[in-house]
């Protein structure tokens, strides 16, 4: 328990990098994400967007990230729509800008130029009202750290020295401009150095699916950093079997019953706990791995703690579906419950987020440029493409409307029963 307390204190100091009393992201914001490969790949995993949709109601996100983009190198195909026109089409309220990784390969000696380029980027958007009413707000995001992958990353320490300097430069420019700054470098470096859990990247600097799950938690926390109410915290259900009491955060408990005498073919000594669990906040997305997680990430999982259980093995079911099985002492420490029916529904919601992003990508970044400006421009498929692009955009907008309703919160029957092993 002492170790967990230390981790909790460390997390509280490490991951609150956003300055200011008001959250950078507000309910109803229309958000655009711009930047490099890190930004681009956020759209195909959906973890950050799902978290923002759950906790900043009514937001709408368009990801304009492009692999390899840098502040002064953002090449696009011939006749590609301007970024400004896309921002206006979306009615953008806030831009989340992810730069610094590509620029960092120019080394420490290019830091002054990087600062000037960041300042120019801020100036280019100053006073612009893409939503037609208010000045666009900017959020600057640091690069992530470089992970130790052995022979794949022989200069890891030197690379992180450079990335740390570019992170500090981004912070300095953001501070001078009085705009929010999200520090993902320190977050990722801390998690990368944890001895437990899967690797976060494929090559040291490009996140894998688990990496996006892990980093997106802290990314979302910093974007929603002002008050951190209960609705952005994971579920925590605590029951004392001896005192026959229980309480929940994220799930409200009612009809709690602790029965020492119920008997069935699968039970030993007939011990069971049942209650009605009414979801008051959306569940956290489960990690895309079965490996143990480092302590900082374990804190992000929806968890059930049952203290003072008699010795034995206990199985949790929700609405009759198996969720978890563990020994009584393990339940006393806390067991993740993110394989439940509610969490499967959350995963389906994330799939819907990813589908919306795919429809927008088809409308914005057509996959075959030869049909737009090349030799097939006058072919039947080339002539049909403008209409198809418009239709894809309509589909993306329709998906937005569907996503606004969020994940349905339900009341379910929870049952923890001792079973024979």
Q: Collect all residues with Cβ–Cβ distance below 8 Å to 391 and sequence separation of at least 6.
A: 363
Return the H-helix or E-strand segment holding 172.
Answer: helix 156-177
pLDDT at 386: 65
Give the mean pLDDT of 108-134.
Answer: 98
Give the mean pLDDT of 156-168.
Answer: 98
Between these two residues, 371 and 208, which has the higher pLDDT value? 208
Average pLDDT, the chain: 89
Residue identified by tokens 């900017």 is 138
pLDDT at 377 over 90: no
pLDDT at 302: 97
pLDDT digits (tens, 9 = 90+) for 316-334: 999 999 999 999 999 999 9
pLDDT at 390: 78
pLDDT at 421: 65
Provide the residue ranges of all domains of the chain, joining segments of one domain with +.
17-228, 233-421
Between these two residues, 16 and 79, which has the higher pLDDT value? 79
pLDDT digits (tens, 9 = 90+) for 21-57: 578 999 999 999 999 999 999 999 999 999 999 888 8
pLDDT tier for residue 380 given thresholds of 50, 70 and 90 = low
- CATH class of the region 17-228: alpha beta
């Amino acid at each position: 328990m002492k170790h967990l307390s230390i981790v909790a204190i460390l997390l509280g100091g490490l991951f609150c990098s956003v300055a200011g009393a008001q959250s950078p992201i507000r309910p109803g914001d229309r958000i655009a994400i711009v930047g490099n490969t890190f930004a681009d790949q956020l759209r195909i995993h959906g973890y950050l967007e799902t978290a923002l949709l759950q906790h900043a109601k009514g937001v709408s996100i368009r990801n304009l990230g492009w692999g390899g983009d840098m502040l002064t190198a953002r090449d696009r195909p011939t006749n590609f729509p301007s970024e400004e026109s896309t921002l206006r089409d979306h009615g953008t309220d806030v831009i989340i800008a992810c730069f610094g990784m590509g620029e960092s390969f120019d080394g420490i000696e290019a830091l002054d130029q990087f600062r000037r380029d960041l300042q120019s980027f801020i100036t280019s958007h100053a006073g612009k009202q893409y939503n037609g009413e208010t000045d666009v707000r900017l959020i600057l995001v640091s690069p992530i750290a470089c992970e130790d992958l052995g022979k794949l990353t022989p200069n890891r320490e030197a690379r992180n020295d450079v990335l740390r300097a570019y992170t500090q430069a981004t912070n300095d420019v953001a501070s001078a401009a009085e705009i929010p700054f999200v520090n993902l470098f320190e977050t990722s470096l801390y998690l990368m150095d944890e001895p437990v859990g899967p690797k976060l990247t494929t090559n040291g600097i490009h996140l894998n699916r688990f990496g996006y799950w892990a980093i997106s938690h802290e990314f979302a926390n910093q974007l929603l950093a002002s008050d951190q109410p209960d609705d952005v915290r994971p579920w925590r259900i605590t029951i004392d079997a001896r005192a026959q009491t229980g309480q929940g955060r994220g799930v409200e408990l009612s009809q709690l019953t602790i029965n020492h005498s119920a008997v069935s073919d699968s039970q030993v000594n007939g011990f069971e706990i049942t209650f009605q669990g009414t979801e008051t906040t959306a569940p956290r997305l489960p990690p895309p791995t079965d490996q143990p997680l480092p302590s900082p990430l374990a804190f992000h999982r929806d968890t059930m703690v049952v203290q003072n259980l008699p010795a034995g093995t206990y199985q949790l079911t929700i609405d009759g579906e198996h969720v978890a099985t563990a020994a009584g002492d393990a339940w006393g420490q806390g067991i993740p419950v993110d394989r439940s029916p509610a969490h499967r529904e959350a995963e389906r919601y994330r799939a819907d987020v990813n589908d919306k992003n795919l429809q927008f990508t088809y409308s914005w970044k057509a996959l075959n440029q030869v049909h737009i400006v090349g030799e097939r421009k006058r072919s039947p498929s080339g002539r049909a493409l403008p209409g198809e692009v418009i239709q894809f955009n309509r589909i993306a907008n329709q998906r937005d409307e569907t996503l606004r309703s969020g994940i349905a919160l339900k009341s379910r029957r929870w049952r923890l029963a001792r079973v024979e092993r």
